[in-house]
Amino acid sequence: MITPEKQISSQHIFAGRVVQLFLDEVSLPNGKTATREVVRHKGAVAVLAATPDNKIVLVEQFRYPCNRVLLEIPAGKLDIAGENPEQCALRELAEETPYTCERVDLIYTFYTSAGFSDEKLYLYRAKNLKRNSTLKPDEDEWLELRELSKAEAQTALQNGEIVDVKTIVAVQHWLING
């Protein structure tokens, strides 16, 4: 049975708009101590949306940490701690794409990078997609809409055009489950 590590101390290193960084000292099951660098995050949502003609809705955007344009499903962070992820998913879909939907259904909840961050991502499936959004992206977002067929999405996965984990999970789910 795995024994949890126990926090001995925690030093708050940085507080930003998106993340907080802590340097924690923990006791290990063998009695020794270790240091853990921990990024705390409010959480995020992502939306798997397929058009009525069965194309997956993606957006291209430049991602500064990766220094490249990525092809991703619509997504965004929970704006405030405790925000309802389902409502956030509806908002993000409408802000980042020309689409809205009747509802979203939760597919998976997962940690994006459990080795150093507590960011939890809620992946939803949009139901009854309609091209009628009047919302705009955030003022610091520049997005370009892409819609791919299943064959095009499979090719994008195989040729490394899709490299973002939430999008890989969503596209694989869509290819397998429709």
In angstroms, the first-to-last Cα distance of the chain is 38
The catalytic residue positions are 139
Q: Are 20 and 55 in contact (CB under 8 A)?
A: no
Sign of CA dihedral 87, 177, 60, 135: negative
Neighbours of 31 (CB within 10 A): 6
In 3D, which of 117, 120, 110, 98 has the Cα closest to residue 49? Answer: 98
Q: What SS3 state is found at 74?
A: coil
